[in-house]
């Protein structure tokens, strides 16, 4: 929420004589380790079997839109663990719509946003999900599920026991200029039971101009009510 809206809320509090409560967007986490939020931990070891330079996609803890209409979501953060058994590298997060037709099919994912590459550090990584320095907003239609995913340049993110994921060697993320688009290839591995130390945070996208307009309208409405009261008092 912008500082201008917060200041207008403070003005309205003075006018009304009681605090005006503005609801803050609540972050929802999607991805293999969604339950950990920003406090992801080392779930095991690095992906030594595949040797790094791998593209992943996780249908675990996807966000499913059951509202009956399209929704807009702002992609805000990326949380993951950088494994100490391998030199730090680069992780590129992305989000996609998964159609539920099989985790191994590249065409079953429609990539909506590819985040700026993140230079990782050993241990906990809490980073912003940005595209060109800004948090992207994506549309999730009714019945669709939004999933979290990433490409890593080496064996960065550790894993423990879990469910099957999309796992394919190389960078299979489509070019950012061609989105939405499917993953470039089917998975080599889609039956390995793993949970990676990774998630993405999303928030409902509330247009700032709309919020600002509502507050301004409220000010004018309250001013009009005050003017009417003064006129009635004089009469």
Q: Each residue of 107-137: pLDDT tens digit?
A: 999 999 999 999 999 999 999 999 999 999 9
Q: Each residue of 35-60: pLDDT tens digit?
A: 999 999 998 876 665 567 899 999 98
Residue 31: partners with Cβ closer than 8 Å, 6 or more residues away: 58, 60, 61, 147, 148, 149, 196, 198, 199, 200
Beta carbons of 55 and 106 less than 8 angstroms apart? no
Q: How many CB atoms lie within 10 A of CB 64?
A: 15
More confident residue, 86 or 75: 75
Q: How far apart are CA 161 and CA 209, in angstroms?
A: 45
Output the pLDDT for position 45.
Answer: 73
* Residue among 155, 50, 136 nearest 95 (CA): 136
Q: Each residue of 213-222: pLDDT tens digit?
A: 555 565 556 5
**Residue 206: cis peptide before it, omega within 30 degrees of 0:** no
Phi/psi for 214 (5° steps) reads -65, -40
pTM (2 decimals)? 0.79
Q: How many CB atoms lie within 10 A of CB 202?
A: 26
Half-sphere exposure of 68 (CA within 13 A, CB side): 0
Q: Each residue of 59-83: pLDDT tens digit?
A: 989 999 999 999 999 999 999 999 8
Tell me 189's DSSP state. B
What confidence tier does 228 reach under pLDDT thresholds 50, 70, 90?
low
- The C-alpha angle 137, 140, 142, rounded to 5 degrees, equals 155
Tally the residues of the chain.
235
Beta carbons of 56 and 166 less than 8 angstroms apart? yes
End-to-end CA separation in angstroms for the chain: 43
Q: How far apart are CA 72 and CA 189, in angstroms?
A: 32
Q: How many CB atoms lie within 10 A of CB 34?
A: 21
Beta strands 109-114 and 71-82, pairing class: unpaired
What domains are defined for the chain?
3-22+209-234 (no CATH), 28-205 (2.60.120)
């Amino acid at each position: 929420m912008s500082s201008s809206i917060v200041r207008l809320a403070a003005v309205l509090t003075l006018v009304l004589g009681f605090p005006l409560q503005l609801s803050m967007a609540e972050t929802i986490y999607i991805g293999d380790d969604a339950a950990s939020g920003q406090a992801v931990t080392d779930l095991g070891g690095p992906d030594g079997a595949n040797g790094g330079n791998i593209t992943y996609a996780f249908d675990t803890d996807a966000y499913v839109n059951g509202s009956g209409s399209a929704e807009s979501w702002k992609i805000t953060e990326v949380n993951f663990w950088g494994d100490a058994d391998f030199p730090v590298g680069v992780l590129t997060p992305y989000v996609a719509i998964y159609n539920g037709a099989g985790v191994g099919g590249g065409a079953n994912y429609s990539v909506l946003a590819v985040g700026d590459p993140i230079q990782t550090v050993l241990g906990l990584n809490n980073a912003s999900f940005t595209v060109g320095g800004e948090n992207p907003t994506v549309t999730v239609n009714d019945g669709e599920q939004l999933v979290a995913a990433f490409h890593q340049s080496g064996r960065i993110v550790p894993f423990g026991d879990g469910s099957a994921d999309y796992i394919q060697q190389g960078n299979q993320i489509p070019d950012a200029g061609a989105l939405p688009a499917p993953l470039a290839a089917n998975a080599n591995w889609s039956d390995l039971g793993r949970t990676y130390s990774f998630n993405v945070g999303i928030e409902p996208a509330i247009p700032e101009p709309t919020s600002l307009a509502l507050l301004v309208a409220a000010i004018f409405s309250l001013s009009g009510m005050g003017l009417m009261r003064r006129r009635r008092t004089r009469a």
